[in-house]
Every structure is written in structure tokens, then in C-alpha cells.
């Protein structure tokens, strides 16, 4: 039995008019991280800036926004940030579906990889991305921020 709508649309491009909803979703999804994520300081203007720098992919269920991820052409591929699934919708395949859509987006732009960063202190996130085909390529750390790992996933040739 599920109280969830059965129709889920994943990874349509977001309409910038939904930027307020996206901000709320990202804040909800990142609320539990420790130390607190910089995502919590972001404003509606920051969300608008994400639209300017690349595709914003969303997942919708019953008209409600349940997942999102920001994309930007950067670091030699499609760089993904702030992947967010609404807490009550996690572990239902939405994160994986957003990654599949991002892969299609990268391929359509002729890009050969997805890239992202995960916090070193969130091994469950690293494991999630590894199961989705990502590999740790290195580490980094910004001043005063948690260390992160750089992960990449190659874009398969559609003919292969």
C-alpha cells in the first residue's frame, strides 16, 4: 500500500517559475547534513543563477516537486550539484532517475562524463553514486568546509 501518487514524471526541465519550490526542496533535502550545508544559505536568486548556468532537472509526482538537480557544463563534463530528493520520497529510485536523465542531457550536449562532489563524511552518498557508475577521481577541500571527493561517470556511447 502506498499513499503516493502513481504518476511520477522524472527529470523534466524545470520552469524558472518553480524556483521558489526548488529552493524549499533543496533546503528540506539538505537540512540533516552536518556540518550544515552551504545549500541552506542559498536564496531564490541563487536558484535563478543555476538556471542561467545550466539545465535544472526536476522530478514531479502528482504535480508536486519531489526531486531536483542542477547541471552546468564544467570540469570537462556535465557537473551536477545539490541533488535533492524530498525526504519523504527518498529511496524510491528518484535520485537514480535524475542521474539517468542527467546522462541523457550530457549526451545530447556531446559531453562524455558526469561529474560531482560528495562529502567525505557521507560515505552512504559515495556508495549511492558508485552503484550508479561513478568512480572517485580525487579529493579536495575548500577553506573551512568539509573535505569532498570528486566523482565521475563516463557517458556510454549510445551505439555500444
* Residues contributing to the site for ligand COA (CB under 6 A): 29-30, 83-85, 90-96, 118, 125, 128, 131-132
Name the residue nearer to ligand COA (CB basis): 40 or 44.
40
Q: Which residue is nearest to ligand COA (CB)?
A: 95
Closest approach, Cβ 110 to ligand COA, in A, equals: 25
Task: Provide, rounded to whole angstroms, the least separation between the CB of residue 41 and ligand COA.
Answer: 15
Q: Is 76 exposed, middle or buried (0-12, 13-18, 19+ CB in 10 A)?
A: exposed
Closest approach, Cβ 159 to ligand COA, in A, equals 26
Exposure string (b/e) for 82-116, b if CB count within 10 Å is 16 or more?
bbbbbeebeebebbebbbebbbebbeeeebebbbb
95 vs 159, beta carbon nearer ligand COA: 95
Output 70 or 111, the one with its CB closest to ligand COA.
70
Amino acid at each position: 500500500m502506498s499513499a503516493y501518487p502513481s504518476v511520477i514524471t522524472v527529470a523534466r526541465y524545470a520552469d524558472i517559475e518553480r524556483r521558489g519550490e526548488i529552493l524549499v526542496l533543496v533546503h528540506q533535502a539538505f537540512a540533516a547534513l552536518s556540518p550544515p550545508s552551504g545549500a541552506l544559505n542559498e536564496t531564490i536568486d541563487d536558484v535563478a543563477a543555476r538556471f542561467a548556468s545550466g539545465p535544472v532537472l526536476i522530478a514531479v509526482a502528482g504535480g508536486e516537486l519531489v526531486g531536483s538537480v542542477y547541471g552546468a557544463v564544467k570540469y570537462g563534463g556535465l557537473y551536477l550539484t545539490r541533488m535533492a530528493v524530498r525526504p519523504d520520497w527518498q529511496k524510491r529510485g528518484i535520485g537514480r532517475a535524475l542521474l539517468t536523465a542527467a546522462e541523457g542531457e550530457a549526451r545530447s550536449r556531446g559531453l562524455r562524463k558526469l561529474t560531482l562532489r560528495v562529502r567525505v563524511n557521507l560515505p552512504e552518498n559515495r556508495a549511492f553514486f558508485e552503484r550508479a557508475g561513478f568512480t572517485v577521481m580525487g579529493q579536495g577541500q575548500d577553506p573551512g568546509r568539509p573535505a569532498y571527493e570528486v566523482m565521475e561517470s563516463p557517458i556510454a556511447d549510445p551505439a555500444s
